Structure 1
Amino acid sequence: MRGTRMLQGDTSAVRGDPAPWDEAIDRMLEAGRARAAANDAQHARLWDALAAATRGGKRFRPVLVMAAHDAFGGDQQQAAAAVGAAVELMHTAFVIHDDLIDGDDVRRGRPNVSGTFRASALGDGASVDQADSLARTAGILAGDLALAASVRAVATCGASEAVTHELLDLFDAALHTTAAGELADVRLSMGTHAATLEESLAMAEQKTSAYSFALPLRAGAVLAGAEGGAVERLGRVGRSLGIAFQLFDDLIGVFGDPRRTGKSATSDLRTVKQTPLLTHARSTGEWTRIRTYLGRELTQDELGEVRALLTTSGSREFVDALAAGHQTAARSEIEQLGVSMAALEVVLRRPPALAGSDEVAA
């Protein structure tokens, strides 16, 4: 079992049943692997790695779809599960590509798609350059396959033609926005100019809010037939939740314990991501020392030193407070809309996933 339902009144978690969106993901991946295996065993390996990439995490995106759907009296449970699966598959695609862009071989404490194929190639006697090429190719293709499966899941979800078209428009808009955010992330990491806090927050909104929060909330409401004003309000909720989530994730990306989060604590520093954490730090007296730790691999001692500087500079506290403010705004709006607070608690609470905590990666 990979995930369990989190909605009020649902007893599947007690019974140990898989959540409906997990079942939908399994069906999509099993169908894809069967088509691949009929023609090419190596292609089937790619689907195996893709299936592994979908496992783990909080699975909150399908929960958001179902919570919004149920809040507006929807009766399209099967379609909502399929759309929830589609959002999760889109997330998987972005994660695979993001790891490839960042040069990371580990996700959630285990080798990701690229890491799996790199290790396999090296084990077969390939050179480092050859292994890198295969790893890069596998990451690109697996992400593409996940994205195609996501769109297919929406197109075949069983909703009416008009609703399906509206859902596809939402997914298309989220894809464009997220792509723009990823491009901005890499462009800003070049360091050709110092990002402002506004630019850094806009990047966070584009990379995270659009597809992880605004999309599932709006999609669930559209499936339930909610009126346009409510759908737009959920988009604003998603924006606030997404910014808060990304800000906390930025903190986890530096202060988190990789053994418990499955996320590198040095990648953001090595790639010099212009997150709000570093953007704020640039305005402090500690910046001259902080910058000497950026753009290179760090030892554990060096990581401890830069963590201390980011704390004494006030940057960690600043980002923490900023995230909490966005969470508070989202909570207020959610209460007014009548969306289940219990179902959303996983994204409404402050994550404990900082150094020494037990939080897992999303």
Structure 2
Amino acid sequence: MTTATGVAFGPSITTDIESEVRRALDSRADRLAPLGSAAAHAWDLASRCVLGGKLLRPRLLVGAVDALTGSEQRNAEARGPAVRIAAAIELLHFAFLLHDDVIDRDLMRRGRPNFIALLLEEWEEDDGGSASRLHAARSTATLVGDLLLSTAHQIFFREATPGEAGQRLLEALDQAVLESVSGELTDVALSAGRVRPELAEVVEMSRQKTATYSFELPLRSAAILSGRGPEVEALLGQVGDLLGLAYQLQDDLLSVFGEPDDHGKDPYSDLREGKETAVIAIARRSTAWPLIEPHFGAGDLSAAEGAAVRSLLTESGAENDIRALIVELSVNARDLVFTEPDLLGPDMVMLIDDLIETLDGRRS
């Protein structure tokens, strides 16, 4: 069997996943075409935006299935459903991104104009004011996101075999959507000042928003599609929960302390928007907060002011505390895996170990 890194993170499985994503999008386009030009065009534009990311979630799922199945025969039986479910998770991911861009009023994604911005570019010469066009573009993004969610659910339903395993697969998807929406609602409440920005609340929000659908869902799905029982599914779900939270905390750090050329974001956008991240929650408890607070959420924050706030966040200890928490989460995930190596098998243990190493060094 290929090494864990080659299975999950190399280019060998990317083509299959991308082909399946395109097939799912094209199938939906065929059904939308006779229903009206507005829906067909919006779907076509969204289809051109879906691919282009790292495909972390679908590659993790397929790689985990390859690692768990062992024999070539079992792998051949599981690979087709795995690729289709992997494609569904990528569509789910893009649906959440569309909704997130609407909520955050963003016009950039992955360092490029996002779906909303592309619509605005198309409509620039149309009649109507800029506010009207922006509302229409955001409304379109919301509706396309809804349709992508529906498409992902449909794929899961088709792949859910009759019986307990199929029910577990659907429950894993349902839990991922429930927690992701709950996390987003908490994020909205935090931004509106309706929830106190305590560290525990912010960390739980981060876990719900990202960990459940980005890591827990792919790993639980892999266990189910590989024919493994609830014990393996639960263990991999726990591992995914820990690594998913570590991944989101890394994102929070990269947004403020990373290199814009690497992560493709405005380095101070989270500060301007007043995003309540774990970094900010820790800084709030420090003596540096009175110096940070006047600039936090300032839409006109300059680059010089942003750099000064970033320095204060480092001095407050927030950066080091979050880095220490990320290390702790990774260690806990590794410990979980190595307490049950026989349950998962050597290939799956190696895959998780490689995944942790990959996440530790990421810059985007």
Moved more, 118-127 or 136-145: 118-127
What corresponds to 2:198 in structure 1? 196
User: Structure 1 CA distance, aligned partners of 2:109 and 2:95?
Assistant: 13
Classify 1:24/1:64 alpha carbon distance in 2 versus 1 (closer, same or farther; 3 Å).
same
**Which residue of 2 is the match for residue 115 of structure 1?**
117
Task: Summarize the Cα distance change of 1:309–1:352 in structure 2 as closer, same or farther, 3 Å threshold.
Answer: farther
Partner of 2:106: helix, strand, or coil? coil
Matched, 1:21 2:17: yes
| 1:322 alignment partner in structure 2 | 325
Rounded Cα–Cα distance in structure 2 between residues aligned with 1:322 and 1:346: 17
Measure how far apart 1:259 and its partner are. 3.3
Q: Does 1:263 align with 2:252?
A: no
8 A contact 1:196–1:279 mirrored in 2: yes
Change in 2 beyond 3 A, CA 1:51/1:327:
same
**1:106 — aligned with what?**
108
Query: CA–CA distance in 2 between the matches of 1:343 and 1:38?
Result: 45
1:128 maps to what in 2? 130
Q: Give me the whole-angstrom Cα distance separating, in 1, the residues matched to 2:263 and 2:104.
A: 17
8 Å contact 1:222–1:231 — kept in the other structure? yes
Q: Is the contact between residue 64 and residue 344 of structure 1 (CA under 8 Å) also seen in structure 2?
A: no
Matches within 5 A, 1:319-358: 319-335=322-338, 336=341, 337-338=344-345, 339=348, 341-342=350-351, 345-346=354-355, 348-350=357-359
Aligned mate of 2:314, from 304, 311, 314: 311
Rounded to whole Å, the distance in 1 between the matches of 2:28 and 2:171 is: 24
Residue 38 of structure 2 corresponds to residue 35 of structure 1: no
Please identify, of 107-116 and 40-49, the stretch whose mean Cα deviation from structure 2 is larger. 40-49
> Could you say which residue in structure 2 is the equivalent of 1:356?
none
Q: Which residue of 1 aligns with 2:148?
A: 146
Contact 2:268 2:303 in 1 (8 A): no
1:96 maps to what in 2? 98
Q: Please report how far the alpha carbon of residue 331 of structure 1 lies from its aligned counterpart in structure 2 after TM superposition.
A: 2.4
Write the letter of the residue equivalent to 2:212: A
Q: Using the alignment, how far apart are the partners of 1:80 and 1:30 within structure 2? A: 19
Partners of 1:274 and 1:178 in 2: CA distance: 17
Q: What's the offset of the Cα at 1:167?
A: 1.1
Structure 2 residue corresponding to 1:163, chosen from 165, 172, 177 = 165
Distance 1:284 1:71, change over 3 A: same
| Partner SS for 2:159 | coil
**Unaligned runs of at least 5 residues, structure 2:** none
3-state secondary structure, aligned to 1:49: helix
Residue 275 (structure 1) shift: 1.3
Q: Cα 1:352–1:128, aligned 2, differ >3 Å: closer, same or farther? A: farther
Residue 51 (structure 2) aligns with: 55
* Contact 2:4-2:350 within 8 A present in 1 as well: no
TM-score (norm 1): 0.89
Secondary structure in 2 aligned to 1:19?
Answer: helix
CA contact (8 A) 1:63 1:343 kept: no
- Residue 61 of structure 2 is matched in structure 1 by 65
For the residues of structure 1 that align with 2:130 and 2:351, how far apart are their CA atoms?
49
Contact 2:18 / 2:51 at 8 angstroms: preserved in 1? Answer: no
Match of 2:303 in 1: 300
After superposition, give the CA deviation of every residue in 1:84-113 in whole Å (9 maximum; x if it has no partner).
111111111111101110010110111111
Rounded to whole Å, the distance in 1 between the matches of 2:49 and 2:298 is: 27
Give 5+ residue unaligned stretches, structure 1.
354-358
Secondary structure of the 1:285 match is coil
In structure 2, give the amino acid aligned to 1:42.
Answer: A
Q: Which amino acid aligns with 1:296?
A: A
Task: Measure, in 2, the Cα distance between the counterparts of 1:287 and 1:207.
Answer: 26
Given that 2:7 and 2:66 are in contact with CA atoms closer than 8 Å, whether structure 1 keeps it comes out as: no
Is this contact kept in 2: 1:8–1:342, CA < 8 A? no
SS of 1:236's partner is helix
In structure 1, how many angstroms separate the alpha carbons of the residues matched to 2:194 and 2:153? 36
Q: Once superposed, what is the RMSD of the aligned Cα atoms?
A: 2.4
Query: What is the letter of the counterpart of residue 354 of structure 2?
Result: E
Distance between the aligned counterparts of 2:82 and 2:58, measured in 1?
8
Identity fraction in percent = 34
Higher RCO, 1 vs 2 (CA within 8 Å, ≥6 residues apart): 1
Shift of 1:192: 4.1
2:230 paired residue number? 228
